[in-house]
A and B are shown apart, each in its own frame.
Chain A
Amino acid sequence: MATDYRKITHDGLWGNNPALVQLLGLCPLLAVTGSVVNAIGLGVASTLVLMGSNLTVSAFRKFVPDSVRLPIFVMIIASFVTAIELLMKAFTYELYLILGIFIPLIVTNCAIMGRADAFACKNPVKASLLDGLMMGLGFTAVLVLLGAMREALGLGMIFSDMHLLFGPIAENWKIILVEDYPGFLFAILPPGAFVGMGLIIALKNIIDARIQARKAERETGPSPRRERVRVTG
């Protein structure tokens, strides 16, 4: 089977985006996207775990008995999550405290399990690694977009507290969009995440529909003007 790397990339980032199309991993997605820095933190952690688990699952795919594959995948994923958790504790301790339970909960992120079962255990190592990276980037992109939306609406600024992730050079990355913003608590609270997520999915569907329509038009030429035939006298 020839591996189509372009297709893998497109699927991960857009066509089969874990957050927007498969709707997997919504729990952390909705819970921690109150700000951009949280979103990037969780996104990077999830991407690293996804790449690691896809790589390992794919490498061992010939030795894993089918009947016990899920527990084995969970073990693999859990070890990567533990490693990431320890890394975050060591290097970005404050962010680790903010993200809290959602770092260990990456183990239960269905997007990771889903990719292990649907892709990595059937495909060669290189393709699986790329799939993990692209799915992770697609997930991270949605996280960051949602985080930026909620932070901008909720607090009137974006990129606040970026130093938690990028160190002291990021101290003044904060962009205040509106001075004296009164704050819109709804956007920060979980209901705001649901509404924001719904809007992003709707936007993706609109864009897809437009692309489809344009493609159809290119293939068949502009659609002829429809005229209603008068059937009554």
Chain B
Amino acid sequence: MALIRTSSPHLHKAVNATDVMRLVVLATLPGLAAMTFFFGWGTLINVIWACLLAVVFEAIVVKMRKRPLGFYLKDYSAVVTALLLGLALPPFLPWWVTMVGVFVAIVIAKHLYGGLGQNPFNPAMVAYALLLISFPVSMTSWTMPFLMVEDGQSWHVMGFVDTFKLIFSGIEPAMIDSYSGATPLDAMRHRGGQTTEEVWANAPVLAQGMGAWHAVSAAYFMGGIFLIYRKVLTIHTPLAILATLGLIAAVFYAIDPYQFADPFFHLTAGATMLGAFFIATDPVTSATSNKGKVVYGIGIGLLIFVIRDWGGYPDAVAFAVLLMNLSAPFIDQYTQPRSYGHAKAKRGMKGGA
């Protein structure tokens, strides 16, 4: 008879930041692979460059703050920040723009506020928003997905060496124009008076290139499901974001299909999936309780739609997440769960009228 060899089945391994961060890195890999497959080497180069810089900046700041270096570098949090930033950046971004972004993320948004666990805003999104308002031109020129270059006849993304040269020395290879273009959200936003149907037919990135965006979104979705399965994050935030965004997009699409894009487009274009599963769920900057996470997610979903359709910038995930980061403490105050033994939850401000 086989003896039961496990002891104390209710005991879990203690969760620490390093394991969580490692799982997050693992979960982004399908998305990174899809980006590299469809948009060329740029994303991969950006991510590696950003991670290198992040470790260097982290080491310098930790040293300056006289903290134990090994302990802080080992938790991978700098790498995750850089990874998420690198995934969000356009593939052909010049190297120094990425450097500014990583500096802002690690030094200003993270360590000036007190380091890991103390930052009120998601560092990667602070950096993204800063780069977007500082360098609008380089931040909004995207790469064409390979599906649509040359009508998908051949494998046609820019080669590794050309991409490397473009990022690090600004040497543009011949036919750069055939590689760069707008994102689907950009095309939808700056439509110049066309109806949604006409935009779909006329904008090449929508007519032919949308499949690549679907694939990338699906890859992030898979990574997100993996994280939920491994209990790194709960389903509340991503579900609330996606459901709210889908619902409000559906309502407006039903009211006026000529002017608004369909809900599926909103869910699969831009950084929706990356934001919902990887960025908004950052435990430090999001709301804490499950109820709070739902409110927080609904806020992000609504803001994404509002900013995408009426705001000044085509994609909105960064701004939506930052604005809800700002309100997370407030949400926490009003969604505190009832603790065992108390009849009512302690909510809201103490004292007062």
Say how far B71's CB is from chain A's closest CB, in angstroms.
Answer: 21
- Nearest Cβ distance between residue A68 and chain B, in whole angstroms? 34
Min CB distance A195 to B, Å, is 7
16 intermolecular pairs with C-beta atoms under 8 Å apart: A182-B135, A184-B100, A184-B134, A184-B135, A185-B133, A185-B134, A185-B135, A185-B136, A186-B130, A186-B133, A186-B134, A187-B134, A189-B133, A191-B130, A191-B133, A195-B108
Measured CA separation A186–B136 after assembly (Å): 11
Tell me the A180-200 residues at the B interface (CB within 8 Å).
182, 184-187, 189, 191, 195
The residue of chain B having its C-beta at the shortest distance from the C-beta of A182 within the complex is B135
Closest partner residue, chain A, to B136 (CB atom): A185
B134 proximity list for chain A (CB < 8 A): 184-187
Contacts of B108 in A (CB 8 A): 195
Expressed in whole angstroms, the minimum distance between the Cβ of B321 and any Cβ of chain A is: 17
A186 to chain B: closest residue by CB: B134
A residues engaging B (CB < 8 A)? 182, 184-187, 189, 191, 195
**In the assembled complex, how far is the CB of residue A204 from the closest CB belonging to chain B, in whole angstroms?**
16
In the complex, how many angstroms separate the beta carbon of A160 from the nearest chain B beta carbon? Answer: 19
Set of chain A residues within 8 Å of B136, measured between Cβ atoms: 185
- For residue B89, give the distance in angstroms from its CB to the closest CB of chain A: 16
Q: Which of A186, A187, A191 has the most CB of B within 10 A?
A: A186
Of chain A, the residue at the smallest CB distance from B130 is: A186
- A210 CB, min distance to chain B CBs, angstroms: 15
User: Which B residues are CB-close (under 8 A) to A191?
Assistant: 130, 133
Counting contact residues on chain B (CB < 8 A from A), the size range is under 10
Complex CA gap A184/B101 in Å reads 12
Q: Which residues of A contact B130 (CB under 8 A)?
A: 186, 191
Q: How many Å lie between the Cα of A186 and that of B126 in the bound state?
A: 12
Q: How far is the CA of A186 from the CA of B130 in the complex (A)?
A: 7
Residues of A within 8 A of B133 (CB): 185-186, 189, 191
Measured CB to CB, the closest approach of chain A to B245, in angstroms, equals 27
Q: In the complex the two chains form, what is the Cα distance from A160 to B130 in whole Å?
A: 25
Ranked 10 nearest A-B pairs via Cβ: A186-B134, A185-B134, A186-B130, A184-B134, A186-B133, A185-B133, A189-B133, A195-B108, A185-B135, A184-B100
Which residue of the partner chain B has the closest CB to A189?
B133
A188 to chain B, nearest CB (A): 9
Q: Measured between alpha carbons, how far is A39 from B130 in the docked complex, in Å?
A: 24
Query: Chain A residues with Cβ under 8 A from B135's Cβ?
Result: 182, 184-185
Once the chains are docked, how many angstroms separate the CA of A227 from the CA of B243?
60
**Chain B hits for A195, CB < 8 A:** 108
- Most chain B beta carbons < 10 A, residue from A185, A187, A195: A185
CA distance A186 to B127 in the complex (A): 11
Cα distance, A185 to B136, chains bound together (Å): 9
Extra inter-chain contacts (13) besides given A185-B135, A185-B136, A191-B133, CB under 8 Å = A182-B135, A184-B100, A184-B134, A184-B135, A185-B133, A185-B134, A186-B130, A186-B133, A186-B134, A187-B134, A189-B133, A191-B130, A195-B108
B residues in contact with A186, CB < 8 Å: 130, 133-134
Most chain A beta carbons < 10 A, residue from B108, B134, B135: B134
| Least distance between A64 CB and chain B CB atoms (Å) | 39
Least CB distance, B65 to chain A, in whole angstroms: 13
A-contacting residues, B111-149, CB 8 Å = 130, 133-136
Chain B residues near A185: list those with CB within 8 A.
133-136
Min C-beta distance of A196 to chain B, whole Å: 11
B295–chain A nearest beta-carbon distance, Å: 27
B109 to chain A, nearest CB (A): 10
CA distance A121 to B100 in the complex (A): 49
* A186 to B132 CA separation, bound complex (whole angstroms): 9
CB distance from A146 to the nearest CB of B (A): 17
Scan B22-49; emit 1 where CB is below 8 A from any A CB, else 0.
0000000000000000000000000000
A182 to B134, CA, bound (A): 10
A110 CB to nearest chain B CB (Å): 26
Bound-state CA distance A186–B103 (Å) is: 14
In the assembled complex, the Cα of A195 lies from the Cα of B121 at a distance in Å of 15
Distance between Cα atoms of A184 and B130 in the complex (Å): 10
CB distance from A201 to the nearest CB of B (A): 12
Q: How far is the CB of A150 from chain B (nearest CB, A)?
A: 12
> How many angstroms from the CA of A195 to the CA of B113 in the assembled complex?
12
Residues of B65-112 at the interface with A, using a CB-CB cut-off of 8 Å, are 100, 108
Would you give the shortest CB distance from B52 to chain A, in whole angstroms? Answer: 22
Q: In the complex, A182→B136 CA distance in Å?
A: 12
A132 to B130, CA, bound (A): 38
CB distance from B121 to the nearest CB of A (A): 12
Q: How far is the CA of A126 from the CA of B134 in the complex (A)?
A: 48
Q: Which residue of B lies closest to A202 (CB)?
A: B112
Docked Cα-Cα span, A191 to B130, in Å, equals: 9
Report the separation of the CA atoms of residues A191 and B100 in the bound assembly, to the nearest whole angstrom: 16
In the assembled complex, the Cα of A52 lies from the Cα of B251 at a distance in Å of 62
A99 vs chain B, min Cβ distance (A): 24
Give CA–CA (A195, B129) in the complex, Å. Answer: 15
Shortest Cβ distance from residue A152 to the other chain B in the assembled complex, whole angstroms: 15
A184→B100 CA distance, assembly (Å): 10
| A182 CA to B94 CA, complexed, in Å | 11
